[in-house]
A = this chain, B = another copy of it.
Amino acid sequence: MAASVRDVAERAGVSVGTVSNVLNSPGKVAPATAERVQAAIDDLGFVRNDAARQLRVGRSHSIGLVVLDVRNPFFTDVARGVEERAAAEGLSVLLANSDERADREAAHLELFEEQRVRGILISPVEEVLPLLQGLRNRGIPSVFVDRLASTPGWSSVSVDDVRGGRDAVEHLLARGRRRILFVGGPLDLPQVRDRLEGARAAVAGVDDARVDVLPVTGLTMAQGVAAGRQILALESRPDAVVAGNDLIALGVLQGVALNGGIRVPEDLAIVGYDDIDFAAAAAVPITSIRQPRERMGALALELLLEQLDGKEPRQIVLQPELVVRASSG
């Protein structure tokens, strides 16, 4: 059905090699010939079959990106950074969504390997090193995004989440808050764990301050709303919430707003994480810990390219930045 180089060659009265040259090394072919070939291509509506090309060349021109949740603006911003840098390099990006589930993550990695992607950027759910080690052995390097490589010898771009968590709580302490509730999960997610660790570290030296944990099963607005409702029902309410990310924070804000009795920030301060665009537009603009989202994406691709160039893997750790808004009054 679809035209092939052979058809084009025949119609233009040249060999397949010449058609291929027109496609891949114009300049190697005489202008007159090139023109004739181009005409044949247009006539037949020829479009090169990438599968055949890839098979012959032995590699694709795409890279895989696995994120925890495409519906989280944080990740679409990261993806944007990746894509921009990738496009400049002539690479296309395959975007996959693990939904914070290890099985989906593994399935996507498998698919990516079948596609023979050049490399993989991943915001991992949990321990995927064995899988990634296998990929590396077979020539596919990877880079951790939004997560420090726990083992040396692996590339990563991350933000110091422990510090981010600490900054959030220290800010709250400075505002006089003492009964802090960390709302986030799943708790085996490294990002969440680190932020919580930082939060706990911040209260360590402060006698009357404490951090409790309200675990949720996912970093979504819906989970935040549910958490907000639970907070309303608590006997002794916290005076501040540190959320695992901005979606949770927005959700909590909505959840507690259902009860007119609780005011933000007077009765309950809220600090989010990521500083997505929507944080500033919230009912009460959310204080948040900003991560350089697009930059992380671009840097991750950079590290991947380095590895493809044979350079050593390395880790980049960026610093988060506290952005104070009304929610922490």
Q: Which residues from chain A sit less than 8 Å from chain B, CB to CB?
A: 1-2, 45, 47-52, 54-55, 60, 70-71, 73, 76-77, 79-80, 83, 92, 94-95, 97, 110-111, 113-116, 134, 137-139, 221, 250-251, 253-254, 277-278, 280-285
Query: CA separation between A52 and B80, bound complex, in Å?
Result: 30
Of all chain B residues, the one with the shortest Cβ separation from A222 is B277
Tell me the complex Cα distance, A115–B61, Å.
Answer: 12
Give the chain B neighbours of A52 by CB distance below 8 A.
51, 55
Contact, CB under 8 Å: B2 / A138: yes
Residues B253 and A138 in contact, CB atoms below 8 Å apart = no
- Knowing A281-B250, A283-B282 touch, does A134 contact B49 (C-beta < 8 A)? no
- A70's partner among B76, B111, B138, B281 (CB-CB below 8 A) is B76
Which residues of B have CB within 8 Å of A282?
Answer: 281-283
In the bound assembly, the distance between CA atoms of A253 and B280 in angstroms comes to: 11
**Residues of chain B lying within 8 A (CB to CB) of residue A2:** 116, 138-139
This chain: copies in complex? 2
- Which 10 pairs show the lowest CB-CB distances between chains A and B? A51-B54, A50-B114, A51-B55, A250-B281, A51-B51, A47-B113, A278-B278, A71-B76, A52-B55, A95-B95
Q: Choose from B77, B92, B111, B113 the contact partner of A92 (Cβ within 8 Å).
A: B111
Q: Which residues of B contact A254 (CB under 8 A)?
A: 280-281
